[in-house]
Amino acid sequence: MNFATIGQNIVKLTAKYWDKFLLTGMGYTLSLAAITVAVGAILGALIAFMRMSKIAPLRWIAGIYTEIIRGTPMLLQLYLFYFALPQLVPLLKKQQYACVAIALVCNSAAYVSEIIRSGIQAVDIGQTEAARSLGMSHKLTMTQIILPQAIKNILPALGNEFIMIVKDTSLASTFFIGDLMTQVLVVKGATYLTIEPLIMVAIIYFVLTFVLTKLLGVFERRLRRGDIR
């Protein structure tokens, strides 16, 4: 098979299956990534504060959770959540999308917690000491002094996490939940073509991540301009 034939097949597949790739597949991929980062950010913030807590058991729990998640493959975690959650929570039986989303959220939360923790710790400790010397409580110092500055370090990193999750959702195709890679398998089974669907979805992933990367770059430049002012 030559490149001309491959190109012709790609054009034909695009015309016939554009709705599966561009609408169904991309919709599932982006929604799954958005849910993962949004909920993962909330859970990650909780884990980050637990790791910085003065209460030892909370630090241990958060530390153990983070190390286990970061020390095991995401695909393994997907399998465990996919098969174990319905056994533990009967309501999740036949809810493949929910099980995969929960697995991705738990995975992302471990990494986001480190992003948040490092962002907070990057703020000069002298600012905390100055605020406390002025009589500000720990809570007030954190909410009024530390977090507003830490957010400028955290948000760009969260944007990078979102881009990574967009690509990592491809692992969810193992469970046929409708994402872009699942659509590759569907089209492959219907047309008996392998290379063409893969090239199509590779282009879509590249365009998605390229656009998101450029938008993130614009956002980071605006943050830097805000710092200068």
Count of H-run helices and E-run strands, the chain: 10, 0
pLDDT on residue 226: 62
CA distance linking residue 88 with residue 120, whole number of Å: 36
CA distances from 217 to 92, 155, 185, 207, 211 (A): 39, 12, 33, 15, 10
Locate 200 and state its tokens: 């199509």
What are the pLDDT digits (tens) for 21-30? 767 888 888 8
- For the chain, domains (ranges, CATH) are 3-228 (1.10.3720.10)
| For range 208-212, the mean pLDDT | 91
pLDDT on residue 106: 94
pLDDT on residue 1: 59
The secondary structure element, H or E, covering residue 67 is helix 56-70
What are the pLDDT digits (tens) for 153-203? 788 888 888 899 998 888 888 888 888 888 888 888 888 888 988 988 898
Locate 99 and state its tokens: 């099980």
Which of the four pLDDT bands, split at 50, 70 and 90, describes residue 10? confident
pLDDT > 60? residue 228: no
CA distance linking residue 211 with residue 201, whole number of Å: 15
What are the pLDDT digits (tens) for 122-156? 887 777 777 777 777 777 787 777 888 888 878 88
pLDDT on residue 109: 94
CA distance linking residue 100 with residue 84, whole number of Å: 11
CA distance linking residue 181 with residue 162, whole number of Å: 18
CA distance linking residue 31 with residue 184, whole number of Å: 18
Q: Evaluate whether 37 touches 165 at the Cβ level (below 8 Å).
A: yes
Instruction: Look up the pTM and report it.
Output: 0.85
